[in-house]
A and B are shown apart, each in its own frame.
Chain A
Amino acid sequence: MTKFLTLLEREVKSYFYSPIAYVVLCFFLLLTGFNFYSSVAYLSRSPSELTVVEATFNSIPFWIGFILIIPPITMRVFAEEFKMGTIETLMTAPVRDWQVVLSKFGGALVFYIVLWAPTFLYFVVFENVVKTDAVNATGAYYGSYLMVLMVGMLFLSIGCFASVLTQNQMVAAVICFCLITLFFLGGLIAFFTPNISPAFRMATSYCSMLEHMGEFSKGMIDSRRFVFYGSGTVLMLLLTHHVFQYRRWKS
């Protein structure tokens, strides 16, 4: 456990050694800030059944930012170690492969949480300035941020997997971007093609982040989503672990 924490600490720190972290943070806060502003502006223009939280977490800028933010977080985690050869020093220390994989994922997750944490301030400021609740129930806060966390975990694990495939960070970023965009678009199939079989519609909606976020940002917390994103993350991390071992043993 101490070894895992040591590895995790180094992973988290390594984000803040490089200027990329600060660039990503700035870019992300600008984007989410703009998204929040435009959601509030949209709601103030015309009467709507949406709460501020729903409007914020279901808009187009939200999803664009959400998808764009993942590749730069995860692209370097394994690719850089393979490129610099530090994987050899790392893996000849008495650490286990799964400790390394989990610490890389954990480091990315911590950074991801650091990215999202300030956005909660938007709602705090909003409620204090406007003296109106941003949501109709506290559950909507929990739901939205839980969904951000769960989808984030799945996407970060996909990013780790993309990074372990190559020693080129750009290639890792592109693979990651393509995979998560495909996954995102998969959830839109039902919108674009109305006359598909009910079974297929069921299947796509089971995987549709958009629908899940819609439910959760209303405060409807559904345990099926935990199973879906949890098992997806575990699967991707297992794949990452296997490819990691394979690449090390082949080199």
Chain B
Amino acid sequence: MIKVENLTKRYAGFTAVNNLSFEVEKGEIVGFLGPNGAGKSTTMRILSSYMPATSGRASIAGFDVFTESMQARQHLGYMPENVPLYPDMRVTEYLNYRASLKEITGARQRERVGDVKELCALKEVENRIIGTLSKGYRQRVGLADALLHAPDLLILDEPTIGLDPNQIRQVRDLIRNLGRHHTILLSTHILPEVEMTCSRVVIINKGQIEAADTPENLVNAMRAAGGIRLEAKVGKDDGVAELGKLAGVKEVSVETEDGWSVFTLRTDSRTDPREEIWQLAAGRRWTVRELSRRRATLEDVFVEMTLGDEV
């Protein structure tokens, strides 16, 4: 659906996107992650035919975004960052205008505008002036606009930025529903959201791809994928040495907290040695007050990938 080959965008003095290549297959929901200034918006703007790349190629549904820009735009619903809208128009009026621009006219226009208003829950504000709407509603107007021509592909640049937690949840549910019929590329900083909605993640940093895989694989592949926390009184035993002997444990560290030893075990994500730990503790008559497992999250992956050099 999206094919990006060796894409580079240079501005005077700096390179925003550097030799980027990736693909998005039909039906995927792909999260496009990276710190601010990593080149996410630039890439999305190139994909949306808003501006051309310095070099390299990008195509949408087989149409080159520069040379066959009109066809590419027909297959794409794009929601820019901060959702710029005309504040002086009314919601329905705006959607009708956008529909006409996308060559949806007559009865089909009425049908599509009605459909997207329904889908994005805009019925109650359909006659309001866009300038008076709250951020959440504006976001939905932008999304409704992107959906008007029933595009195969949606590109959403930070669809949940500036929304409150309830609105974020609504937008997330909406995106997940849309994912059944559309291919979606979305950028966001809210990583739990990506874990919940995206089937694949592309992480970019300084204009280059750091990783591209499913969220699970990325988490599993992390150096320290998981951790186990054990709080116990071990008496005279050397807890660190004992725990270190268990299979799958890579590293053990210990701290003391009001008389209790707090062990942190690093394991690989596939093994869960909690049963062995419990048996060890029971055998040695350790008093245990906590035994828990913490899985690494996408956030850990993100931080490791994008801060890699600095920490």
Q: Enumerate chain A interface residues (CB-CB to B < 8 A).
A: 2-3, 6-7, 9-10, 14, 17-18, 84-89, 91-96, 248-251
Interface of chain B residues 46 through 95 with chain A (CB within 8 A)? 48-52, 70, 73-74, 76, 78, 80, 82, 84-89
Q: How far is the CB of B60 from chain A (nearest CB, A)?
A: 11
| Measured CA separation A93–B84 after assembly (Å) | 13
For B97, what are the chain A residues with a Cβ–Cβ distance below 8 Å? 6, 9-10
| Measured CA separation A106–B87 after assembly (Å) | 22
A3, A18, A94, A248 pick with most chain B CB within 10 angstroms: A94
Q: Select from chain B the residue with minimum beta-carbon distance to A88.
A: B80
User: Given that A88-B50, A251-B51 are known contacts, is A95 also in contact with B101, CB under 8 Å in the complex?
Assistant: yes
Q: How far is the CB of A250 from chain B (nearest CB, A)?
A: 8
**A249 close to B52 (CB less than 8 A):** yes
B48, B76, B86, B103 pick with most chain A CB within 10 angstroms: B86
**A94 close to B70 (CB less than 8 A):** yes
For B101, what are the chain A residues with a Cβ–Cβ distance below 8 Å? 3, 6-7, 93-95
**B85 close to A94 (CB less than 8 A):** no
Categorize the interface residue count of chain B: 20 to 34
**B103 close to A94 (CB less than 8 A):** yes
User: What does the 1/0 interface line of B215-245 toward A look like (CB < 8 Å)?
Assistant: 0000000000000000000000000000000
Q: How far is the CB of A107 from chain B (nearest CB, A)?
A: 13
**A92 close to B49 (CB less than 8 A):** yes
For A248, what are the chain B residues with a Cβ–Cβ distance below 8 Å? 50-51
| Measured CA separation A86–B82 after assembly (Å) | 10
For B102, what are the chain A residues with a Cβ–Cβ distance below 8 Å? 93-94
**B100 close to A3 (CB less than 8 A):** yes
Can you sample 25 A-B contacts with CB below 8 Å? A2-B103, A6-B100, A9-B97, A10-B86, A10-B97, A14-B86, A18-B88, A85-B80, A86-B85, A86-B86, A88-B80, A88-B84, A89-B84, A89-B142, A91-B50, A92-B48, A92-B50, A93-B102, A94-B70, A94-B73, A94-B101, A248-B50, A249-B51, A250-B51, A251-B51
